[in-house]
């Protein structure tokens, strides 16, 4: 009579790994697979093997030991039920990854950051939204977040400076730094591509204009300053003091 196979347990999984590379079935198409390197550090993959449309397919369910034997069996059971209903679970997983990747482009990052950190906290959030729409999204909005590099940040800032608006460029520089920090905190990316850009990289500080009205209109306003709103009268006084 043949010997009865040992029931699979966590102890048995560890013994397989201690012996070297593993490619063993634990039942119903669920495989426990480890390379030589993985086996040395006690790590393996759970892989569901199945047939779909007359072809052999497989789907990685996760990593051991993060996913236990019990959890792997539950995941495999769920996937087998979907396969019986005509769903190719490996293809479904790839499509989900693509959707997640699309969701994490710069445009969606900007939207998530704005809704979470800007809209509820700023008195005038529309200024930030306008900067995103006019200066960030047209240049890098469709790029996946993970491919954005400092050269892309530089392109955004250079275009704004070339249009003669260094103050706007500096605002956008700060927005980009905070926006990509938002992505780093959520593990969408490993590093912030906007880190290290300073005021000088955004064209420096914008020089104040010496006067914002023609001379004739300026004299008229000055002469009737007492009748103006207080904030405007103060502004005229400050301008006059600067000469």
Bridge partner list, 45: 33, 63
pLDDT number for residue 226: 56
pLDDT number for residue 223: 61
What is the C-alpha to C-alpha distance for residues 49 and 76, in angstroms, rounded to an integer? 9
Bridge partner list, 51: 56
Evaluate if residue 235 carries a pLDDT over 80: no
What is the C-alpha to C-alpha distance for residues 176 and 170, in angstroms, rounded to an integer? 10
Evaluate if residue 211 carries a pLDDT over 50: no
- Domain 103-202 falls under CATH 1.10.8.590: no
68 Cβ contact partners less than 8 Å away, ≥ 6 residues apart: 10
Q: What is the pLDDT of residues 34-75, one digit of tens each?
A: 999 999 999 999 999 999 988 899 999 999 999 999 999 999
**Torsion-angle region of residue 150: left (phi > 0), alpha (psi -120 to 50) or beta?**
alpha
pLDDT number for residue 136: 96
Rg from Cα positions in the chain: 31
Q: What is the pLDDT of residues 116-174, one digit of tens each?
A: 889 888 888 889 999 999 999 999 999 989 899 999 999 999 999 999 999 999 999 99
- Average pLDDT score, the chain: 83
Evaluate if residue 213 carries a pLDDT over 60: no
Three-state DSSP class for residue 182: helix
What is the C-alpha to C-alpha distance for residues 75 and 47, in angstroms, rounded to an integer? 10
pLDDT number for residue 148: 94
96 band by pLDDT with thresholds 50, 70 and 90? low
For the chain, domain boundaries: 10-87, 103-202, 209-243
132 Cβ contact partners less than 8 Å away, ≥ 6 residues apart: 110, 114, 175
Cis amide prior to 158 (ω within 30 degrees):
no
Evaluate if residue 218 carries a pLDDT over 70: no
Evaluate if residue 215 carries a pLDDT over 50: yes
Do the beta carbons of residue 46 and residue 61 sit within 8 Å?
yes
- Domain 10-87 falls under CATH 3.40.50.300: no
Evaluate if residue 30 carries a pLDDT over 90: yes
Three-state DSSP class for residue 52: strand
* Residue 98, Cβ density class (10 Å: 0-12 exposed, 13-18 middle, ≥19 buried): exposed
204 band by pLDDT with thresholds 50, 70 and 90? low
pLDDT number for residue 1: 45
């Amino acid at each position: 009579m043949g010997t009865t196979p040992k029931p699979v347990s966590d102890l048995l999984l560890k013994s397989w790994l201690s012996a070297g590379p593993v490619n063993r079935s634990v039942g119903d198409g669920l495989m426990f697979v480890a390379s030589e390197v993985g086996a040395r550090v006690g790590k393996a993959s759970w892989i569901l093997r199945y047939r779909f449309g007359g072809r052999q397919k497989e789907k990685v369910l996760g990593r051991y030991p993060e996913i236990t034997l019990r959890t792997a069996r539950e995941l495999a059971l769920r996937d087998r039920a979907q396969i019986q209903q005509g769903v190719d679970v490996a293809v479904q997983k790839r499509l989900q990854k693509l959707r997640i990747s699309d969701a994490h482009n710069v445009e969606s990052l900007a939207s998530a950051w704005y809704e979470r950190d800007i809209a509820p906290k700023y008195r005038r959030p529309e200024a930030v939204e306008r900067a995103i729409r006019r200066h960030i999204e047209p240049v890098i909005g469709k790029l996946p977040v993970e491919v954005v590099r400092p050269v892309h940040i530089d392109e955004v800032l250079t275009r704004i400076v070339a249009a003669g608006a260094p103050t706007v460029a500096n605002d956008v520089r700060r927005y980009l730094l905070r926006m990509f920090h938002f992505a780093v905190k959520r593990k969408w990316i490993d590093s912030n591509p906007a880190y290290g850009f300073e005021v000088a990289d955004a064209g420096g500080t914008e020089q104040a204009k010496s006067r914002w009205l023609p001379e004739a209109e300026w004299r008229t306003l000055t002469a009737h300053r007492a009748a103006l709103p207080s904030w405007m009268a103060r502004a005229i006084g400050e301008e006059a003091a600067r000469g």
